[in-house]
Amino acid sequence: MAMLTHAQIWMALDRLAERAGLSASGLAKKAGLDPTTFNKSKRITPEGRPRWPSTESVAKSLTATNTTFDTFVQLVDDPGRAATKKAIPLSGLAQAGKHGYFDDAGFPVGHGWDEIPFPAISDEHAYALEISGDSMEPAYREGTVIIVSPAASIRRGDRVVLKTRDGEVMVKELKRRTAKTIELRSINPEHPARTLSTREVLWTHRVVWASQ
């Protein structure tokens, strides 16, 4: 199966609405969102790029329909068969900076990982990190699980996980990357932006999904 795509997530939202006996706009209204939030026209940016639904809108839709995230994961897959899941490594973000959690390439190693089921993903090195604390609110709250793919291509505006040579593991938004520097926005707008030398960064991986 290919890596998780925009189309799969939008289709899962459509299936969620159908299960609740609602249209896409009806689901948005029930979730307290603008009725046009899930419209087909909102699934593409003005520049023609596929757009992800916000994690907040998905979380509100799950709450409004009394649906668990695990059930939503099943809706991502073909509804005509059992969801195909892969167990991927899971650790807390706070622990991920400790020695022994990643190899030099940034792939998860060691025995400090738990596991989480997730729809089959082509990146064999994908992993999950659980957010603790409130430093990344409102985007990522306590308990949010982010899915990270080392194989995914990274573009400006993507949310990424980085590890520095000092052992710091952080989640940021990529603002700009040059041959010498990496400019990063904080997930929480109240926190300052950071600029790192490329020599300071061991690896950078893209966040491909979040649980809320």
SS3 80: coil
Beta strands in the chain (DSSP E): 85-92, 114-119, 127-130, 145-149, 159-164, 169-177, 181-186, 194-197, 201-210
Q: What's the confidence (pLDDT) of residue 160?
A: 96
Identify the pLDDT of residue 31. 93
Is residue 135 domain-shared with residue 44, that is, in the same domain?
Answer: no
* Per-residue confidence (pLDDT) for residue 82, from 0 to 100: 41
- What CATH number did the domain enclosing 66 receive? 1.10.260.40
Residues 6+ apart with CB under 8 A from 21: none
Question: What pLDDT is recorded for position 84?
Answer: 53
CB 180 within 8 A of CB 197: yes
User: By C-alpha distance, which of 48, 24, 50 is closest to 37?
Assistant: 24
Instruction: Render pLDDT for 179-191 as a digit per residue (tens, 0 to 9).
Output: 999 999 999 988 9
53 in a structural domain: yes
Domain boundary among the residues 23, 49, 76 is at 76
Start-to-end CA distance of the chain, whole Å, equals 24
Same domain, 95 and 17: no
pLDDT at residue number 1: 40
140 and 44 in one domain? Answer: no
Domain that holds residue 53: 6-76
| 10-residue mean pLDDT series, the chain (212 residues) | 72 84 86 89 80 90 88 71 68 88 88 80 87 89 91 92 93 95 94 95 92 72
Answer yes or no: pTM beyond 0.75: no
Domain count, the chain: 2
